[in-house]
Amino acid sequence: MTYTFELNEVDQKFAETYAAEIGKTVGELAKESMLEHIEDVMDLRLYEQAKAEYEADPVTYSFDEIKKNLIKRIEGELMGDAV
């Protein structure tokens, strides 16, 4: 799929200069920048969701607690116990 967008002369020169500095075309720069922006927005949404969940129920586990519970679960599965 192809997208077209317009830049004024200043922005065009800015984009061309930067793209050349990093060894990319303006199209590659635009594509990568757009995808990185989308990923950043999605990461922020996930962070906000996780923060809200934590604030609603602020339970935390230490690394040792997680490790202990994971080992118990794995051992139980190996022994055929329903966990």
Q: If you average pLDDT over residues 8-31, what whole number do you get?
A: 98
Tell me the average pLDDT of the chain.
Answer: 94
Residue 78 has pLDDT above 90, yes or no: no
- pLDDT level of residue 27 (50, 70, 90 thresholds): very high
Res. 81 pLDDT band, cuts 50 70 90: low
pLDDT attached to residue 73: 93
Tell me what the mean pLDDT of segment 6-28 comes to. Answer: 98
pTM over 0.75: no
Query: What is the distance between the alpha carbons of residues 79 and 47, in angstroms, rounded to a whole number?
Result: 37
Q: How far is CA 78 from CA 66, 72, 74, 81, in A?
A: 18, 10, 6, 8
| Residues 19 and 28 sit within 8 Å (Cβ to Cβ) | yes
